[in-house]
Amino acid sequence: MKSDNLTLHTDKYQINMMYAHWRNGSHRNRAVFEAYFRKLPFGNGFAVFAGLRRIVEYINQLRFSDEMIEYLARQEERYDPEFLELLRTFRFTGSLWSAEEGTVVFANEPLIRVEATVFEAHLLETALLNFLNYQTLIATKAARIRLVAPNETLMEFGTRRAQEADAAIWGARAAYIAGFDATSNLLAGMMFGIPTSGTHAHAWVQQHDSEQEAFDKFAAALPDQVTLLVDTYDTLKSGVPNAIRTAKRMEAEGKRMRAIRLDSGDLAYLSKMARKMLDDAGLPYVQIVASNDLDENIIVELKAQGARIDGWGIGTQLITAADQPSLGGVYKLVARERGGQWEPVIKISGNPEKVSTPGIKDVYRIIDRSTGKALADYVALAEETDVREGKRLELFDPVHPYLHQFVEEYDAMPLLKPVFANGEQVYELPSLETIREHHREQLKLFWPETLRKLNPHPYAVDLSPKAWSGKMDLIRKYKK
């Protein structure tokens, strides 16, 4: 089986539900599902949507191969051969709307909406959430790091600690979307056009008779890309002095060393001392790069201590989202077709945060014309026109409805864009640079208080009065 055919990248219960629908003759019934997450990760004030490119590629390649059909035929469920033959002809014929990659998003608002037969919609769930959850998580972590290091170079160094190859490659792309400058992963660089960056390992130094010999030979081999790792033996007594001597030899040959890298020890102290040594040697242009299990919290602390660091290599903490390894996105049925009409449906739970919002919905970012800043995200039923027509809106918190305001002078930015229509891709995937620029423009819509790392100001995601009353009506109906 080709590794790029991900059709069976799904949970078994999806196939079982498809089979049960087929046995009951309901597999052609249409349904609408929405994907969203319930809680912002990392205690952050926002998230960064990513994963759409892989979702589009996955949907375009959905095909049950002979090998897959044979495998399903051997399952203990003993699927009817007619059902398996139907799978051979499977194609996605539905429609899909999505937020654009790089968009700043929030909890409890639809990020993706799928309208399709239940047969098709069930199959999409597992892979769609897998791609959305991981890449949005990494992009959000990367955005947090970029916001605390707005002017320094950020390099993604996580491949060796990532959970397998796909996580390394797509995680590098997600980090680049949210503002990282480069990756160490060459395959990610080749696939997506991400700039790549790399120095050398401690092993390079250890394989030579002296640190000085190792530095000089590395500089001779790559004279235009010289960053030297200076902590193999002793950073200040050996590494930096030897790097300075190499830099001086390079100057004599008309070349310039790019940087030194610190990978252990007290990075604040070492960077300050190394900066003084480099400056005293007449090498102010040689930058200092730091690595060693860094994240946004450590970077903030190092800056508070006056660290003299120009670039950061971020690995494990970014690529594994170490402080929150899962986003927790969900994919919920919000409407079903009955008698040719859409009927809203709800999921009720003993956990209030798990109660779904019924009905087919759109999401709008409400921009205050006087400030150019976002006031709230407004979740309205797709049939509603008031927001699209710029009419007076009532914004209120769906959890605390007494918290409300009325707005009149606003622009409504729709967040969900059509991606597939009746099985055909209608959205042209933008370049990675376009996505990065979109992300930068998105950040400008929000006040710094919403974007700050610690105790961010909450941003409102409001339901329209019609969406909220419809939810209350269904809760009352099913609670009787």
Stated as kind and residue range, the H or E segment containing 167 is helix 165-177
Instruction: Read off the pLDDT of residues 59-83 as tens digits, 9 standing for 90 and up.
Output: 999 999 999 999 999 999 999 999 9
Phi and psi of 336, rounded to 5°?
-130, 155
DSSP-derived 3-state class of residue 262: strand
Q: Which residue has the tokens 């956990």?
A: 351
- For the stretch 371-395, pLDDT in tens is 999 999 999 999 999 999 999 999 9
Residue-by-residue DSSP string for 379-433: EEETT--TTTTT--EEEE-SSSTTSEEEE-SEEEEE--EEEEETTEE-SPPPPHH
3-state helix, strand, coil in the chain (%, to 5): 40, 20, 40
Query: What's the mean pLDDT in 53-63?
Result: 97
pLDDT grade for 3, boundaries at 50, 70 and 90: low
Q: pLDDT band for 355, please (50, 70, 90 cuts).
A: very high
2 pLDDT more than 50: no
Instruction: Tell me: pLDDT of 352 over 90.
Output: no
- The mean predicted confidence, pLDDT, of the chain is 96
pLDDT of residue 353: 87
Can you give the pLDDT at residue 1?
35
Compute the average pLDDT of residues 447-461. Answer: 96
pLDDT tens digits for range 169-216: 999 999 999 999 999 999 999 999 999 999 999 999 999 999 999 999
Percent of the chain with pLDDT over 90: 95
Question: Please, what are the domains in the chain?
Answer: 12-139+324-479 (3.20.140.10), 199-308 (3.20.20.70)
Tell me: pLDDT of 116 over 60.
Answer: yes
pLDDT in tens, 290-316: 999 999 999 999 999 999 999 999 999
- Helix count (H) and strand count (E) of the chain? 16, 21
CA dist 182 and 189 (Å) reads 8
Residue 244 has a pLDDT of: 98
What is the Cα–Cα distance from 407 to 396, expressed in whole angstroms?
11
- pLDDT at 417 exceeding the cut of 60: yes
CA 15 to chain centre: 28
Which whole-number Å values give the CA distances from 127 to 14, 333, 361, in the listed order?
11, 16, 22
Q: Could you read off the pLDDT of 226-269 as tens digits, one per residue?
A: 999 999 999 999 999 999 999 999 999 999 999 999 999 999 99
Average pLDDT over residues 90-95: 98
